[in-house]
Amino acid sequence: MKIAFHGAARTVTGSKHLITLKNGKKILLDCGMFQGMGHETDSLNRDFGFDPQEITYMVLSHAHIDHSGLIPRLVKLGYRGDIFCTPATRDLAEILLLDSAEIQRDDAKFTNKKMAREGLPFVEPLYSVDDAKLSIDRLKPTGYNTWTHIDKDIQLMFTDAGHIVGAASVHLRITENGKTEQISFSGDIGRYNDAILKSPEVFPQADYILIESTYGSTLHADAAPADAELLRHIRETCMEKRGKLIIPAFSVGRTQELLYALNNAQLAGKLPRVDIFVDSPLSTEATAVTKAHPEVFNSEVANILKKDDDPFDFPGLHYIKTVDESKALNFRQEPCVIISASGMAEAGRVKHHIANNIDNARNTILIVGYCEPQSLGGKLMRGAKEVSIYGTRFHVNAAVGVIRSMSAHGDYEDLSQWLACQHPKDVKKLFLVHGEYDVQQIFREWLIKKGFLDIEIPERHYETGLA
Ligand SMILES: [Zn+2]
């Protein structure tokens, strides 16, 4: 068999890995969208580098858009098979894919107004809301920790990856010419001391491993200071400067982590009296899905649930639903906290909030997650003095804060911990995916010291034989 890496190859978005068996059957691992890659992003998302009609099976590690976001395009372009994922991933993917289709429809409408003014050809969204609905019908919920025959020669098992609700590492046992080999794909690996989720699980010995390497050269600070930092930013921005604290946050995972931290602060009597808005219908829905899957919670959350029946809700928290309510926040003079998607500030309502508040020194934009260097969040993180939002230049007068320790991705010790159940010498090849190349090179050196013999960092569209 062969494997080709069509996304998240020396980059952290667009996760897409294609296994081709000798009998011609093809299994696609993830079908993620590229995000925050500047002018290149659109063309990267239009051309897969393979024919969707030739895919036999698809397996989805988790619902994040950089892993799932091109599934509707895959279906639009002719994929007709099942998409295996965990039950919680199915629930999250449903809301995320519909939202993604709506964002694209709205972005295309916005861009096309400009195109019409300039007499340029219109842009076509990557897929429609109907394509997203069709793809949701193909999602096939499959539980953790059980081998399932998806084909007579192919078995599939998920193990908990501890990254977001429903996230899994994917294990495939493929039999060719009477010989069975296991390919394990980490998906995104969470932290072993996550605030909300259980830790990533062990898995049987694999022959080939694809491991993410987002933080392959980083050790995170402990999670506790993140909570303190969050409260410090609320005090400084909202209480002292009387400004607005804008927090771009992924709807799934990071938003719930922020709400959980704020709820804990409230339980401890440490949360200042300030209105906190979650301005993203998707974040609201994702919080509901999270509450519906308590099986993923760690023991600390289980304990909190004994004294607080909703660890993601507290006095002063408001969920914004309509666009009008969201726009009304612009005219609000009082200090407040606005938690809104997307996490890299590349799309969604947070982009409008940033545009409306970036020129006022009273306000703070607080980055709490990974941002692609070319994304709006990434530019702000690097201290840009001026940014372009929807084609308009803005001076960055607002303060920009960064909390680095609030990560859904493991650092290199977490990644090593995920590999600790494996005998390095029995792994024929380790592929580093989902990371920036300079980070991956450092991570490779680290893994060589751990005893792994053959480690590759594939480029986009690189294909290699296994066995
Ligand atoms: Zn993820």
CATH number for position 198: 3.60.15.10
Instruction: Answer with the one of 402, 433, 448 that is the final residue of a domain.
Output: 402
Return the DSSP state at 295. G
- How far is ligand 1, taken at its centre, from the CA of residue 9, in Å? 15
- How far is ligand 1, taken at its centre, from the CA of residue 270, in Å? 31
Q: Which of 358, 267, 284, 347 is nearest to 318 (CA)?
A: 284
Q: Read off the pLDDT of residues 85-116 as tens digits, 9 standing for 90 and up.
A: 999 999 999 999 999 999 889 888 988 998 99
Contact 287, 341 (CB under 8 A): no
Can you give the pLDDT at residue 171?
98
Is residue 116 domain-shared with residue 241, that is, in the same domain? no
Mean pLDDT of the chain: 94
- How far is ligand 1, taken at its centre, from the CA of residue 163, in Å? 7
Contacts of 122 (CB under 8 A, 6+ apart): 108, 112, 115, 116
- How far is ligand 1, taken at its centre, from the CA of residue 116, in Å? 36
Distance CA 396, CA 361 (A): 8
H or E element at residue 462:
strand 462-465
Is residue 351 domain-shared with residue 435, that is, in the same domain? no
The tokens describing 419, both together, are 């590999």
Can you give the pLDDT at residue 222?
57
pLDDT string in tens for the chain (467-residue length): 999 999 999 999 999 999 999 999 999 999 999 998 888 999 999 999 999 999 999 999 999 999 999 999 999 999 999 999 999 999 999 999 999 999 889 888 988 998 999 999 998 999 999 999 999 999 999 999 999 999 999 999 999 999 999 999 999 999 999 999 999 999 999 999 888 999 999 999 999 999 999 988 887 765 457 899 999 999 999 999 999 999 999 888 899 999 999 999 999 999 999 999 999 998 999 999 999 998 889 999 999 999 999 999 999 999 999 999 999 999 999 999 999 998 999 888 999 999 999 999 999 999 998 888 899 999 999 999 999 999 999 999 999 999 987 777 788 899 999 999 999 999 999 999 999 999 999 999 999 999 999 999 999 999 999 97
- How far is ligand 1, taken at its centre, from the CA of residue 15, in Å? 10
Is residue 162 domain-shared with residue 308, that is, in the same domain? no
Count Cα neighbours of 96 within 13 Å in the Cβ-side half-sphere.
28
Question: Ligand 1 is a single-atom ion; what residues have CB below 5 A from it?
Answer: 64, 188
Can you give the pLDDT at residue 452?
96
- How far is ligand 1, taken at its centre, from the CA of residue 169, in Å? 11
- How far is ligand 1, taken at its centre, from the CA of residue 188, in Å? 5
Is residue 278 domain-shared with residue 179, that is, in the same domain? no
3-state class (DSSP) for residue 161: coil
Distance CA 340, CA 320 (A): 10
Is residue 418 domain-shared with residue 395, that is, in the same domain? no
CB atoms within 10 A of CB 130: 11
- How far is ligand 1, taken at its centre, from the CA of residue 434, in Å? 10
Total number of residues shown for the chain:
467
Can you give the pLDDT at residue 207?
98
- How far is ligand 1, taken at its centre, from the CA of residue 16, in Å? 13
Contact 408, 188 (CB under 8 A): yes
Can you give the pLDDT at residue 221?
63
Give the helix ranges, DSSP H, for 176-234. Answer: 223-234
What pTM value is reported for the model? 0.86
Is residue 255 domain-shared with residue 387, that is, in the same domain? yes
Is residue 427 domain-shared with residue 398, that is, in the same domain? no
Is residue 179 domain-shared with residue 248, that is, in the same domain? no
Distance CA 62, CA 233 (A): 31
The total number of structural domains that make up the chain:
2
First to last CA, the chain: 7
The tokens describing 289, both together, are 């899905």
Is residue 272 domain-shared with residue 294, that is, in the same domain? yes
Distance CA 234, CA 336 (A): 8
Q: Read off the pLDDT of residues 405-428 as tens digits, 9 standing for 90 and up.
A: 777 778 889 999 999 999 999 999
Instruction: Answer with the one of 402, 421, 456 that is the final residue of a domain.
Output: 402
Is residue 231 domain-shared with residue 316, that is, in the same domain? yes
Q: What is the CATH number of the domain that holds 340?
A: 3.40.50.10890
Distances (CA, A) of 349 to 44, 120, 189, 399, 437: 24, 26, 28, 19, 31
Distances (CA, A) of 318 to 281, 327, 393: 12, 15, 31
- C-alpha torsion sign, points 72, 76, 77, 82: positive
H or E element at residue 43:
helix 40-46
Is residue 81 domain-shared with residue 189, that is, in the same domain? yes
Can you give the pLDDT at residue 370?
84
Instruction: Answer with the one of 384, 402, 420 that is the final residue of a domain.
Output: 402
- How far is ligand 1, taken at its centre, from the CA of residue 342, in Å? 13
Tell me the residue range of the domain where 365 lies.
224-402
Is residue 357 domain-shared with residue 396, that is, in the same domain? yes
Can you give the pLDDT at residue 75?
98
